[in-house]
Protein backbone atom coordinates (compact mmCIF):
# COMPACT_ATOMS: atom_id res chain seq x y z
CA UNK A 1 0.00 0.00 0.00
CA UNK A 2 1.61 3.28 -1.04
CA UNK A 3 1.99 5.49 2.00
CA UNK A 4 0.60 8.47 0.07
CA UNK A 5 -2.80 6.81 -0.37
CA UNK A 6 -3.02 5.75 3.28
CA UNK A 7 -1.95 9.25 4.38
CA UNK A 8 -4.55 10.87 2.10
CA UNK A 9 -7.30 8.57 3.44
CA UNK A 10 -6.33 9.57 6.99
CA UNK A 11 -6.26 13.25 5.99
CA UNK A 12 -9.77 12.97 4.52
CA UNK A 13 -11.06 11.38 7.71
CA UNK A 14 -9.45 14.08 9.87
CA UNK A 15 -11.06 16.80 7.75
CA UNK A 16 -14.46 15.09 8.05
CA UNK A 17 -14.10 14.67 11.81
CA UNK A 18 -13.19 18.34 12.23
CA UNK A 19 -16.08 19.40 10.00
CA UNK A 20 -18.76 17.20 11.61
CA UNK A 21 -17.39 17.25 15.16
CA UNK A 22 -17.48 13.48 15.54
CA UNK A 23 -15.30 10.44 14.95
CA UNK A 24 -15.52 7.97 12.07
CA UNK A 25 -14.37 4.37 11.97
CA UNK A 26 -11.37 4.01 9.68
CA UNK A 27 -11.74 1.69 6.68
CA UNK A 28 -9.59 -1.13 5.49
CA UNK A 29 -7.75 0.02 2.33
CA UNK A 30 -6.23 -2.06 -0.47
CA UNK A 31 -4.98 -1.75 -4.03
CA UNK A 32 -6.66 -4.85 -5.43
CA UNK A 33 -9.03 -3.11 -7.84
CA UNK A 34 -8.50 -3.75 -11.54
CA UNK A 35 -10.15 -2.65 -14.73
CA UNK A 36 -11.61 0.76 -15.50
CA UNK A 37 -12.66 1.90 -12.04
CA UNK A 38 -10.22 4.07 -10.10
CA UNK A 39 -11.75 3.31 -6.73
CA UNK A 40 -14.67 1.58 -5.03
CA UNK A 41 -16.13 2.09 -1.56
CA UNK A 42 -17.70 -1.02 -0.06
CA UNK A 43 -20.11 0.62 2.35
CA UNK A 44 -21.18 -2.33 4.47
CA UNK A 45 -17.63 -3.69 4.80
CA UNK A 46 -16.05 -0.27 5.49
CA UNK A 47 -13.53 -1.05 2.77
CA UNK A 48 -11.86 1.12 0.13
CA UNK A 49 -10.38 -0.53 -2.94
CA UNK A 50 -8.17 1.45 -5.31
CA UNK A 51 -6.72 0.69 -8.74
CA UNK A 52 -2.94 0.67 -8.35
CA UNK A 53 -2.24 1.03 -12.06
CA UNK A 54 -4.44 4.13 -12.38
CA UNK A 55 -2.85 5.54 -9.23
CA UNK A 56 0.65 5.08 -10.65
CA UNK A 57 -0.33 6.74 -13.93
CA UNK A 58 -2.30 9.63 -12.36
CA UNK A 59 -0.97 9.92 -8.81
CA UNK A 60 -1.39 13.67 -8.25
CA UNK A 61 -5.01 13.83 -9.41
CA UNK A 62 -5.75 10.44 -7.85
CA UNK A 63 -4.69 11.67 -4.40
CA UNK A 64 -6.45 15.01 -4.82
CA UNK A 65 -9.78 13.77 -6.23
CA UNK A 66 -10.23 9.98 -6.31
CA UNK A 67 -9.31 9.22 -2.71
CA UNK A 68 -11.64 11.88 -1.23
CA UNK A 69 -14.37 10.77 -3.67
CA UNK A 70 -14.32 7.24 -2.24
CA UNK A 71 -13.88 8.35 1.38
CA UNK A 72 -16.90 10.66 0.95
CA UNK A 73 -19.01 7.60 0.10
CA UNK A 74 -18.08 5.94 3.41
CA UNK A 75 -18.59 9.16 5.39
CA UNK A 76 -22.02 9.73 3.77
CA UNK A 77 -23.00 6.14 4.55
CA UNK A 78 -21.95 6.47 8.19
CA UNK A 79 -23.75 9.82 8.57
CA UNK A 80 -26.96 9.25 6.61
CA UNK A 81 -27.38 5.48 6.38
CA UNK A 82 -27.87 3.06 3.51
CA UNK A 83 -30.89 4.77 1.90
CA UNK A 84 -29.00 7.53 0.12
CA UNK A 85 -28.04 7.66 -3.56
CA UNK A 86 -24.36 6.93 -4.26
CA UNK A 87 -23.70 10.34 -5.85
CA UNK A 88 -26.67 12.08 -4.30
CA UNK A 89 -27.01 15.31 -2.38
CA UNK A 90 -25.38 14.01 0.81
CA UNK A 91 -22.26 12.79 -0.97
CA UNK A 92 -22.07 16.00 -3.02
CA UNK A 93 -22.30 18.16 0.11
CA UNK A 94 -19.38 16.25 1.66
CA UNK A 95 -17.28 16.66 -1.47
CA UNK A 96 -17.95 20.41 -1.62
CA UNK A 97 -18.24 21.32 2.07
CA UNK A 98 -15.64 19.07 3.66
CA UNK A 99 -13.07 18.65 0.88
CA UNK A 100 -13.74 21.74 -1.26
CA UNK A 101 -13.80 19.57 -4.39
CA UNK A 102 -16.14 19.35 -7.34
CA UNK A 103 -18.40 16.31 -6.89
CA UNK A 104 -17.37 14.62 -10.14
CA UNK A 105 -18.96 11.21 -10.55
CA UNK A 106 -16.38 9.67 -12.89
CA UNK A 107 -12.70 9.97 -13.59
CA UNK A 108 -11.26 10.74 -17.01
CA UNK A 109 -8.09 8.67 -16.71
CA UNK A 110 -6.85 6.97 -19.85
CA UNK A 111 -7.51 3.29 -19.29
CA UNK A 112 -5.54 0.81 -21.35
CA UNK A 113 -7.82 -2.01 -22.35
CA UNK A 114 -6.14 -5.34 -22.89
CA UNK A 115 -7.45 -7.40 -25.79
CA UNK A 116 -9.67 -10.27 -24.73
CA UNK A 117 -9.62 -13.75 -26.23
CA UNK A 118 -12.95 -14.83 -27.68
CA UNK A 119 -13.85 -18.42 -28.52
CA UNK A 120 -15.76 -18.74 -31.78
CA UNK A 121 -18.92 -20.88 -31.86
CA UNK A 122 -21.10 -21.68 -34.85
CA UNK A 123 -24.60 -22.92 -35.58
CA UNK A 124 -26.37 -23.97 -38.82
CA UNK A 125 -26.93 -20.38 -39.96
CA UNK A 126 -24.72 -19.35 -42.89
CA UNK A 127 -21.92 -16.91 -42.03
CA UNK A 128 -23.01 -16.59 -38.42
CA UNK A 129 -20.57 -16.90 -35.53
CA UNK A 130 -20.77 -16.25 -31.82
CA UNK A 131 -17.81 -14.91 -29.82
CA UNK A 132 -17.84 -16.48 -26.35
CA UNK A 133 -15.92 -15.13 -23.39
CA UNK A 134 -13.52 -17.40 -21.52
CA UNK A 135 -16.14 -17.79 -18.76
CA UNK A 136 -18.87 -18.88 -21.15
CA UNK A 137 -16.46 -21.18 -23.00
CA UNK A 138 -15.57 -22.82 -19.66
CA UNK A 139 -19.28 -23.35 -18.92
CA UNK A 140 -19.65 -25.17 -22.25
CA UNK A 141 -16.70 -27.39 -21.28
CA UNK A 142 -18.62 -28.26 -18.09
CA UNK A 143 -21.69 -29.30 -20.07
CA UNK A 144 -23.77 -26.14 -20.52
CA UNK A 145 -25.46 -25.88 -23.91
CA UNK A 146 -26.33 -22.76 -25.89
CA UNK A 147 -28.78 -22.60 -28.79
CA UNK A 148 -29.01 -20.23 -31.73
CA UNK A 149 -32.15 -18.11 -31.48
CA UNK A 150 -32.66 -18.17 -35.24
CA UNK A 151 -32.13 -21.82 -36.23
CA UNK A 152 -32.43 -23.38 -32.74
CA UNK A 153 -29.30 -25.51 -33.35
CA UNK A 154 -26.78 -26.04 -30.58
CA UNK A 155 -23.78 -23.71 -30.76
CA UNK A 156 -20.57 -25.69 -31.24
CA UNK A 157 -16.99 -24.58 -30.71
CA UNK A 158 -15.25 -24.07 -34.06
CA UNK A 159 -11.76 -24.52 -32.61
CA UNK A 160 -10.96 -20.90 -33.48
CA UNK A 161 -10.14 -17.96 -31.25
CA UNK A 162 -9.72 -14.25 -31.89
CA UNK A 163 -8.67 -11.16 -30.01
CA UNK A 164 -11.23 -8.39 -29.53
Residue positions annotated with a catalytic role: 70
The string of DSSP codes covering 57-108 is HSHHHIIIIIHHHHHHHHHHHHHH-TTS-TTSHHHHHIIIIIT-----SS--
List b or e across 36-72, with b for residues whose CB sees 16 or more CB atoms inside 10 angstroms: ebbbebebeeebbbbbebbbeebeeebbebbbbbbbb
Amino acid sequence: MPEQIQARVENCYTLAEDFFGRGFKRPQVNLKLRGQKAGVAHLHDNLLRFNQQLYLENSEHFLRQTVPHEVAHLIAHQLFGPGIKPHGEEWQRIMLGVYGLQPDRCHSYAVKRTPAIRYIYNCNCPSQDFAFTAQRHALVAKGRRYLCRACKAQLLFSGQQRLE
